[in-house]
Amino acid sequence: MTAGKSDPSAAVTRVEDVDLGVLDDTLSFFVRALNLAVTRDLEARLEGMEVAHGTGKITALFLIGRHPGIRPSVIAAAAMKDRSAMARVLGDMEKQGLIRREADIADGRVQALHLTEKGERLAEDVRAIVRQSRDFFHDISDEEYTQVIDLLRGIYWRVVKSNQQKG
């Protein structure tokens, strides 16, 4: 029998013999499994850095650096996190001295986020590590990698847009 097509009633002793059944056609299974693997790899590369362990810190760091004055709600929407979860992430980053909050020039009731010098240095270091993430997928061709990125980017923006329309 080929990998992934074993007799489901037989005792399975090797992962290569697992028949995924309905999971084999379930996108969320593959997304979750790959997310765990990629996250473990990235966490190992980031070990000892202030953005290691947790989700949302790298996204916030990069978005604030790219868009000085960005609002927390925009980062939450881009990261697909609820506002309260993002507020906790941003609060931790502020305590670490990575970001600062200022009143928005156009609307003083709104927070505008900026990287501190420490945050800018960290963003530069993390950016170099994130650029190495292609190494994790060393066994797929550049063409396949580009196809996957393009496909996921398109899905991501459709989901973000749909979430915004829902409110």
27-34: list long-range contacts, CB under 8 Å, 24+ apart. Answer: none
Q: What is the mean pLDDT of residues 97-108?
A: 90
What pTM was computed for the model?
A: 0.85
More confident residue, 119 or 105: 119
Q: Please choose, from the candidates 57, 102, 92, the residue with its C-alpha nearest in 3D space to the C-alpha of residue 75.
A: 57
3-state secondary structure of 12: coil
Flag whether pLDDT at 2 surpasses 80: no
Domain boundaries, the chain: 1-47, 50-133
Q: What is the pLDDT of residues 4-23, one digit of tens each?
A: 555 666 788 999 999 999 99
3-state secondary structure of 103: strand
Q: Which fold has domain 50-133?
A: Arc Repressor Mutant, subunit A (1.10.10)
